[in-house]
Amino acid sequence: MSGPHGPAFSGRVGWGSAPALVVIDLVRAYTEPDGPFALPDATSTVAATEQLVAAARSGGRPVVWTVVEYAADLSDGGLFVRKVPALAAFADGAPGGWGELTLAPEPGDLVVAKQYASAFVGTSLAATLHVAGVDTLVVAGVSTSGCVRATATDSLHHGFRAQVVREACGDRTVELHEQNLRDLDAKYADVTGLDEAVARLAG
């Protein structure tokens, strides 16, 4: 779609000088085959995310993990838990341990508990990152059409350059994954490859 001044979409936000890695909701509910939000094949997503984490650590970059947590009675889940009843798996005391992170954080990592799709809604994440001097968010995790998309979109709203790593995200179908990556790349974030993201984080 082009206008008199060139393409209407798909400009680049680019890379700043101070990236951080944000891993969205990569928990057992998505990565275990019998999980309530099980992905068709989480293996490649987890492996790519592991590479990003290793690169961020080697480059001294901040690593942020998000998890979804609710009160036992879901009273802090608002309408989201009505729309997606399976979110009850993340209530305090719910069986299965589905909210446990698939990869283990290290001391010094930030773990952000959230109740909604975006990692910025109802959390202090934006302020924490701004004070740390972060200007670019490398986004990985699940799901591409849900919490990854919401977090990447809100990254733009909060003044961060979002780089969504294609190989390190996953969704319940390949079609959903690809469609949402295309739309994110058109309007809210840059979709980048694993190799570039690893090099930028490590560098």
| Cis ω for the linkage preceding 145 (within 30 of 0) | no
Q: Which residue bears the tokens 């890695």?
A: 21
- Positions annotated as catalytic residues are 147
Nearest in space to 193 (alpha carbons), one of 125, 140, 142, 126: 140
Element (H, E) at 49: helix 43-58
Distance CA 185, CA 98 (A): 30
- The CA distance from 176 to 148, in Å, is 12
Token couple for 159: 């003044």
Alpha helices in 70-118 (DSSP H): 80-83
